[in-house]
Amino acid sequence: MDKKFWQNKRVLVTGGAGFLGSHLVAEIEKLEPREIRVTRSKTHDLRDPDVCAEVVKNIDIVIHLAANVGGIGYNQEYPGTLFYDNLAMGVHLMEEARKADVEKFVALGTICAYPKYTQVPFKEDDLWMGYPEETNAPYGLAKKMLLVQGQAYRQQYDFNTIYLLPVNLYGPGDNFDPQSSHVIPALVRKFVNARENNEPEVEIWGTGTPTREFLYVEDAVRAIILATENYDDPEPVNLGASFEISIKELAELISKLTNYQGKIVFNTDKPDGQPRRKLDVSRAKKEFGFEAEVKFEEGLKKTIEWYETNN
């Protein structure tokens, strides 16, 4: 990472108090920029263009992480809210950043933007080859519009926007709320609680056959910083660890690491979500030298330790 790049830079991190944001802000602070400005959903409603105009004033770099996001159940319950919130935040923030002559806008997309049936590993060029998986399409498409907006603004206004597509993140400080958490924190919470309460079985949604890929939060932070420093092209870039694990294998691994002794039961009446997820990560390596470093089991152990210590 290049400390010189950040000297005298004023940086805005939206969602900077969230899971990824808090890790990113801590790392950028070590690079000693002139200013780090952080927005929080409680104090800054980024769906309001006037709020966006205020937060981008005198800013050099915007890193837009803020999102309304959750797991399958949350996506099914609030599709309209997820579409509107994420679309409105992105549209207004990028427009106000452009009007304020921000030097660079780093937009974080989502793996949910990919079509439901995408050839594995997912290549960035396949983003438009079909409709996303139904349960997360409103969220995925709203975030995908950041890519369209960024490319359009680059073409018309010469506005420097890059678009990064992180796979599912996990790690210490994740969201463990059962109403809105993603699969790893949801399973960690379930197995730890089941162990502590001597429950005979743990129920998992779906068949257990879908696969997922996960990126440790510290790796994701490094990727975002490297891209901010070194990448200035219009094409989207995948951020991942380039492996896949089935939900069944994931549940068994978390069960083992949490020392849960009971049975795992799959509720096949519940949805599976996207059938497979694994990214082609060659563009990130080629363009800004990013490769994931944290081994999956090691990252899981740290995540479980954090949850057990903080809950």
| C-alpha separations of 54 from 57, 60, 226, 293 in Å | 6, 14, 27, 38
Side by side, which strands form the sheet with 35-39? Answer: 35-39, 10-14, 61-64, 104-108, 161-166, 237-239
Which of 114, 117, 131, 139 is flagged as catalytic?
Answer: 139
Q: Are 292 and 219 in contact (CB under 8 A)?
A: yes
Question: Which of 275, 253, 264 minimizes the C-alpha distance to 209?
Answer: 275
Cis peptide before 121 (omega within 30 of 0): yes
What would the two tokens of residue 54 be?
């205020």
Give the CA angle between residues 229, 215, 66 to the nearest 5°: 65
Nearest to 247 by CA among 217, 282, 202, 198: 202
Task: State yes or no: is 139 an active-site residue.
Answer: yes
Residues marked active site are found at 139
